[in-house]
A and B are shown apart, each in its own frame.
Chain A
Amino acid sequence: MKKLTKQKAAWIYEKMNDIRNFEDEVHRIFTSGEIPGFVHLYAGEEAVATGVCAHLTDEDYITSTHRGHGHCIAKGCDLNGMMAEIYGKETGLCKGKGGSMHIADIDKGMLGANGMVGGGFPIAVGAGLRNQYLKTDSVVVCFFGDGAANEGGFHEGINMAAIWKLPVIFVCENNMFAESTPQSYSSASKTIAQRAAAYDIPGVKVDGMNLKEVYDAAGEAVERARKGEGPTLIECLTYRKYGHFEGDEQKYKAKEGPEKEHADTDCIELFRKEAIAGRLLTAKQADDIEEKSRQDVAAAIKFAEESPVPRPEALLEDVYVD
């Protein structure tokens, strides 16, 4: 399994910061009313997207969720294009026609954030089938939440990937709540990971706040997949810094106790500390990355604000391939 190198650690720290800064800024701007529609922020869960995507190349695919900004950034999507998309501008990754919930960049292997909870399972299976059929060693990561685990597609998708031994890694981001409903209420199984037994595939649960744990589990799963040994189910216990969507009062969140302790863990701070301690990063490097990230996100906001809105005729374009 790939050891975490200095280079990879720097990449991860950069992406973690990009995600955090991006989401904090979107949160700030959304409150000011300049961003239309629904926005679901990824802040707090950075260790999962980056720890998994650190193992992927542009040849690998991911499917994402309605909380997809973090996956996009970790999969290499352009910050300017993402911000412009969230603003509904013509220069957005989807020409302003997708928005926050549908950011996609197929060239980067990003098969789209997905407004349908659980919508990614079969699509990831299809991409995995493609990889297997074309005899590539590319893999697919299917990110999904604890809520999506209770959709029928979870079963159909994992079962099909398992019987065909497809190169798909199912990564559950268990942030403890499906919208406002706790995972402990809506899932009969105590963990999502234990359901892997039903499909006779490996299932592991890791601390999603700990980058290293996520990175290691994903590394093992990706390696298995590339070797044709089939899918893995990884459950990452994480927590969202903000609500389900912007405007959520978050009354369901605990004010104290283990959940509060979990919530107060900042995966980025934790990784900085551990990386510096493990001599993967220097403090100076980390500071520089943080500063550059803030500048990059500021530049993305400027780019989005200055970009034109879509041409009216774009309304009718790209429904069909002509």
Chain B
Amino acid sequence: MATAILMPKLGLTMTEGTVDAWYKQAGDSVEKGEVIATISSEKLTHDVEAPEAGVLQIVTAEEQEQVCKEPIGYVGAAGEEVASVAVPEEPVMSNEATAEAPIEVKAPVRQQGTRIFITPIARKIAAERGYDYTQIPGTGGNGRITRRDVESYVPVAEAAPVKAISNTGEGLTGMRKVIAKRMHASLHDTAQVTLHRKANISPLMKFREKMKKKLGDEGKASLGINVLLTRAVVLALKDHPEMNASYANGEHTKHEAIHIGMAVAVDAGLIVPVMRDATNQSLSQLADSLQNVATGARNNTLSSDLLSGSTFTISNLGHAGVEYFTPILNTPEIGILGVGALSTKLVFTKKGKVKEQQELPLSLTFDHQVVDGAPAGEFLQTICQYLENPYRLVF
């Protein structure tokens, strides 16, 4: 009997994936454990291994999508008729059949094709809020969707903007397609403004030297510029909770916890691994987190849980010599900090002497829909103040 090769489900929010490439042709013999295909989801790419030894049958062609846990192919004996074995006649393509609802499931998930009952007021409110009511569980009599069901419904945050611009990203696949949709949706749905300012980090650099000498190799990692910068951002976010927020579906939500997303370039594109609960992490803990996510991202070993859920994002293009730029919001977040290349400038002291100063160019993009320029500027200033008074970073 043939064994199905399933589209893997990598993380809670993954509902479908794209077959990027088959490394074997249909009819080829494969060994158990041999990498036979690569699939990609919104967040990552993944190699698929043959579950058994045998002859490969392909169900999902390259660049086509398949719902998670549904077969993309089979491995069986030579000549075995597999098409009839386990393939559903009509693969269920809509995600309502398999998606795990992000909120507590109150009613049995509807069978596809069954009629949906919804009360007139519930239908009206769903329309006003732009909800797709087919996604809302009904808890009223006869399973009908009531006003309360609509009002307590929390739409899947990631799903909504992607649906709204379904034409964007056409012709692209996998992570590229996701990035395309995300970036387009971000610019389409927000009012982005970018503020630029430099931080004088000469004191910070001196502080680093001192600390390095004191701590030796042990503390080296903790004193990376990204770690210090992250710490400064975390502290500034604690001072300005309105920036640690999201804005989606008409609601501006300030978050208690601070999860910092760190944009990381990978071969396939760009991902934003998350350092969760950064609020109270010490410099060394932050350093560990940063190390973990960066390595995991490059090696494609991060679970998808660590690829979403950030509340503020940092993007560093300094390694390429970029100074200022306009980072695009990682929606629904309302702020992203762009970090440029460190440079050394000559400046005049108050007494009129010339002095060397190390400067870090910072670019803060914020969503003007919910935050105005002045508070955003103050937030950026607070980041600079932490960087310019480095001892505050350790307390």
Q: Do chains A and B touch in the complex (CB under 8 A)?
A: no
Interface residues of B (CB under 8 A from A): none
